[in-house]
Amino acid sequence: MTNSLKDQTTHVYYTHPYAAWERPTNERHNEMIRKFIPKGQPIANYSRTFIRQMIRAIDHLPRKILNYQTPAEAFQRELQKLAS
């Protein structure tokens, strides 16, 4: 299996448990979610409609990592690249 992995172009990254500094984008997303759902609150307390609205709001926030585009804009740009 090791030899077959060497032939692949996918990179695998390992992060240590409780090492938030190793995954800053993930932590930033958690921070955005916490603006809508406080830490410790069960997600089951929120309706599907609320969750969809939260996701839509988060997806329309510009990101520095995306050169200040929104994830929705970046996704549309990638779809256009695939279509052409």
What's the domain range around 55?
24-83
DSSP secondary structure of 29-62? HHHHHHTTS-TT--GGGS-HHHHHHHHHHHHTS-
Is 28 part of a structural domain of the chain?
Answer: yes
Residue 43, both tokens: 């997600």
Answer yes or no: pTM beyond 0.75. no
Each residue's pLDDT tens digit in the chain (84 positions)? 456 656 667 777 777 888 877 778 788 888 999 999 999 999 999 999 999 999 999 989 999 889 999 998 999 999 999 998
Is 55 part of a structural domain of the chain?
Answer: yes
Is 66 part of a structural domain of the chain?
Answer: yes
Predicted pLDDT at 8: 63
Question: Which H helix or E strand runs over 77?
Answer: helix 71-83
